[in-house]
């Protein structure tokens, strides 16, 4: 029996998959986890260069914004999400 390595990217195939993955990262409350999740989504959908092209954002700026010490602006997050057919929303707790 051979074992396969689990790769989250393999399961991010639809906007719904991506939305659920990012929502779970947000629920954790750790902003760094969200940045890591956004990097994973970028990797699953063609990489940072493809994201930059689709979002009309600068590739280097995306790398900085989504880095370990990144602090993306709201308009950057909105542009990234829009490329995946998603948007920011606010819901009540509970």
pLDDT per position as a tens digit, 6-37:
889 989 999 999 999 999 999 988 889 999 99
Is the pLDDT confidence value at 3 over 80? no
What residue ranges define each of the domains in the chain, with the CATH number in brackets?
Answer: 14-83 (1.10.260)
**74/72 Cα distance (integer angstroms):** 7
- Angle, vertex CA 94, rays to CA 74 and CA 65, nearest 5: 20
DSSP state of 13: -
Question: pTM surpassing 0.75?
Answer: yes
Burial 13-24 (b: 16+ CB within 10 A, else e): eeeeebbebbee
Smallest CA-to-CA distance from 15 within 39, 36, 44 is with 44
């Amino acid at each position: 029996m051979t074992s396969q390595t689990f790769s989250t990217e393999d399961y991010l195939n639809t906007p719904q998959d991506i939305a659920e993955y990012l929502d779970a990262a947000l629920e954790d409350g750790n902003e760094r986890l969200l940045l890591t999740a956004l990097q994973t989504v970028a990797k699953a959908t063609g990489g940072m260069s493809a994201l930059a092209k689709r979002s009309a954002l600068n590739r280097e700026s995306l790398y900085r914004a989504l880095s370990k010490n990144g602090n993306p602006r709201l308009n950057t997050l909105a542009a990234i999400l829009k490329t995946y057919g998603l948007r920011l929303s606010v819901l009540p707790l509970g």
